[in-house]
Amino acid sequence: MSQTVQTAVVGATGYAGYELARLLLRHPRVARTVFYLREPNGAKCLTEIFPALRGWGEAPVRKFSADAVAAQGAKIAFLATPHEASLEIVPQLLETGMRAVDLSGAFRFPAGETLAQWYRLEPPDPALLRRAVYGLPELYGAKLADAQLVANPGCYPTSVILGLRPLLDSGLVARARGIVCDCKSGTSGAGKEPRRDTQFCEVNENFRAYKLFSHQHTPEVLEHLGLGAVDMMFSTHLLPLTRGILSTLYVWLDSPAAPEDIESVYRTYYAGRKMMRIWPAGRLPELQHVVDTNFCDIGFALDPSGQRLMIVSCLDNLGKGAAGQALQNFNLMNGFEEAEGLI
């Protein structure tokens, strides 16, 4: 009943790593977590890396090796490492019998070429890719109980896929007219490493689009929506705030629908899913509602003709878009209730 699990975290030094640490420290089913870095630089405990966690809890920091993690007795390892590091480390961890949740993009694509094309990385062993489960619990939750390797989705794709998949499955959408996904993210999504374009004065009182037609999250979106590149336009923008993604999604419908039809599509698809909050017609979700949570909120507006539809999908890019979702996957991998430790 109160079964707990030992976990390991590899590479938690960035914003998603911080969030992961914070969530693990308070998760009722996590027995103990050890944090591993390739270069601990003398750090022995978590609060040396994240001073703000003082008083919340403490955990050891150690130099990473797959053997060290295995020797610790961890059943599940979370990887908050760069793509390249995940490609190298994940096979080592799986070999020891451990299960892994990888927050990088390394194992998200069944086809190695996708990784090669969009990330310019050497793809991993195809057998490994085939074993990886795309960790979007509302779509693939049933596969998680037995998953050895879970590829935690990207933040933008989580928002867009959860916002569009029920509608596309419903058959209501006029796909031939094309779909537009206009996504806006807080700056924590850009990572913690100092960069000129994420300096405070470059983001504050500013707003900009970036990586148009070239964002590496594009193939995830297409794959899990069953769309071809030419059917969709997907854009990403940088908001002058820290946390949150809001995606405004535009579809034309084949024939007129009523607001209740649309609401019903979402309610049916997400019935029983605790992390999804569907807003009634006429109420739109907003970023403040989801920041610091693991919820994905969905609302919509249908025009009077019933043929033009705008969907608003929002979530916390470090929560449901990264660390929170990793823990939701962890819960389902272990047979726990999916929202445990997340509400």
Residues 190-249 that bind a second copy (CB under 8 A): 192, 194-196, 198-210, 212-213, 229-230, 233, 235, 237, 239-244, 246, 248
Residues 55-114 that bind a second copy (CB under 8 A): 55-57
x/- track of binding to a second copy for residues 305-324 (CB under 8 A): x-xx-x-x------------
Task: Let me know the angle formed at the C-alpha of 27 by 32 and 101, rounded to the nearest 5 degrees.
Answer: 75
Task: Let me know the angle formed at the C-alpha of 185 by 179 and 190, rounded to the nearest 5 degrees.
Answer: 125
| Least distance between a second copy and beta carbon 80 (Å) | 16
**CA dihedral (277, 157, 83, 74) positive or negative:** positive
Choice between 204 and 268, CB closer to a second copy = 204
Choose one: 103-111, 145-153, 185-193, 264-272; the region binding a second copy (CB under 8 A).
Answer: 185-193
The answer to whether 343 contacts a second copy (rule: CB under 8 A) is yes
Measured distance CA(312)–CA(282) in Å, rounded: 11
DSSP 72-112: HT-SEEEE-S-HHHHHHHHHHHHHTT-EEEE-SSTTS-SSH
Catalytic residue among 155, 181, 296, 314: 155
| Enclosing H/E stretch for 5 | strand 5-10
The answer to whether 304 contacts a second copy (rule: CB under 8 A) is yes
| Enclosing H/E stretch for 8 | strand 5-10
Question: Which of 108, 165, 184, 224 is close enough to bind a second copy by CB under 8 A?
Answer: 184
Question: Which of 250, 254, 259, 261 is close enough to bind a second copy by CB under 8 A?
Answer: 250
The answer to whether 333 contacts a second copy (rule: CB under 8 A) is no
| Enclosing H/E stretch for 20 | helix 15-26
| Least distance between a second copy and beta carbon 148 (Å) | 31
Choice between 60 and 178, CB closer to a second copy = 178
Measured distance CA(172)–CA(186) in Å, rounded: 31
| Least distance between a second copy and beta carbon 198 (Å) | 5
Choice between 61 and 291, CB closer to a second copy = 291
Question: Which of 167, 302, 326, 327 is close enough to bind a second copy by CB under 8 A?
Answer: 302
DSSP character for 323? I
> Burial of 324 by CB count in 10 Å (0-12 exposed, 13-18 middle, 19+ buried)?
buried
| Least distance between a second copy and beta carbon 90 (Å) | 28
Backbone angles phi, psi at 295, to 5 degrees: -75, 150
296 is an active site residue: no
Choice between 2 and 305, CB closer to a second copy = 305
Backbone angles phi, psi at 337, to 5 degrees: -65, 140
Region of 57 on the Ramachandran plot (φ > 0 left; ψ -120 to 50 alpha; else beta): left
| Least distance between a second copy and beta carbon 187 (Å) | 4
Question: Which of 9, 11, 15, 64 is close enough to bind a second copy by CB under 8 A?
Answer: 15
3-state SS, residue 307: coil
The answer to whether 301 contacts a second copy (rule: CB under 8 A) is yes
Question: Which of 32, 143, 177, 267 is close enough to bind a second copy by CB under 8 A?
Answer: 177
Choice between 113 and 207, CB closer to a second copy = 207
The answer to whether 117 contacts a second copy (rule: CB under 8 A) is no
x/- track of binding to a second copy for residues 260-299 (CB under 8 A): --------------xx-x-----xxxxxxx-xxx-x----
| Least distance between a second copy and beta carbon 317 (Å) | 11
Task: Let me know the angle formed at the C-alpha of 248 by 242 and 252, rounded to the nearest 5 degrees.
Answer: 170
Tell me the two tokens of residue 77: 């390892």
Measured distance CA(220)–CA(168) in Å, rounded: 16
Catalytic residues: 155
